Every structure is written in C-alpha cells, then in structure tokens.
C-alpha cells in the first residue's frame, strides 16, 4: 500500500471517530437547589459562576425558588463541575430532587 492510500484511510478513520464521538454528546438540563442566596444580587453571582464553566449553554437562576436551571453539553461538563462552580463562588448547590 502506498503512502497516499494510507493517508486516505487514516483521514477516513479520524473522520469516523469524530462523527461517532459527537453523536454521544447531548444537551441536558439540570435544576440545582442553591444555598446561601440571601439578597437580590446573589442570583447574578450564581449565574456568572455557572456561565463561566465550559460547556454551559444557559443558566437561569431564581432567587425566589433558590434554584438554578442549567442547560449544558454533557460531553464537555458534568453536574459535579456545575455544583463545584457554585460552591466555589460561595453558593453550595446540589441537583434538586
């Protein structure tokens, strides 16, 4: 087999791998129960901490309900990373059951 055929096969294999790995990624939404939100400015800090996490598409935080609804790419981020982000900002959170 010459170098041209080997390179073509390699490119096809890489393309197939990229397509198959992206097929497993999914956009997910989780609702987090957020602690320590005592003022109207707290939701802003929680939202910014979540939006700073790579893979987060959207975060909506409710001061009234003490929750954050986060839409994220599960191939780039997991729920633990989301709860770590809010906790590191001073607002411990956990998935709402």
Q: What is the mean pLDDT of the chain?
A: 87
Query: Is 78 buried (19+), middle (13-18) or exposed (0-12) by CB count in 10 A?
Result: middle
In whole angstroms, give the CA distance from residue 63 to residue 68. Answer: 9
Task: Provide mean pLDDT across the span 57-77.
Answer: 97
Q: Is domain 25-95 given the CATH code 3.30.70.100 in the classification?
A: yes
Task: Provide mean pLDDT across the span 78-88.
Answer: 98
Q: What is the pLDDT of residues 34-61, one digit of tens each?
A: 999 999 999 999 999 999 999 999 999 9
Q: Could you tell me the two tokens for 33?
A: 């129960």
Q: What is the pLDDT of residue 20?
A: 47
Residue 54's nearest CA partner among 70, 33, 36 is 70
Q: What is the DSSP letter of 61?
A: E
């Amino acid at each position: 087999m010459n170098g041209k055929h080997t390179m073509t096969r390699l490119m096809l294999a890489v393309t197939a791998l990229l397509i198959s790995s992206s097929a497993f990624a999914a956009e997910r939404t989780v609702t987090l129960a957020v602690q320590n939100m005592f003022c109207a400015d707290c939701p802003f800090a929680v939202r910014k901490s979540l939006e700073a996490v790579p893979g987060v598409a959207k975060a909506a935080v409710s001061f009234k309900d003490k929750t954050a609804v986060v839409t994220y790419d599960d191939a780039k981020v997991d729920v633990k990373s989301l709860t770590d982000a809010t906790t590191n900002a001073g607002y411990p959170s956990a998935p709402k059951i």
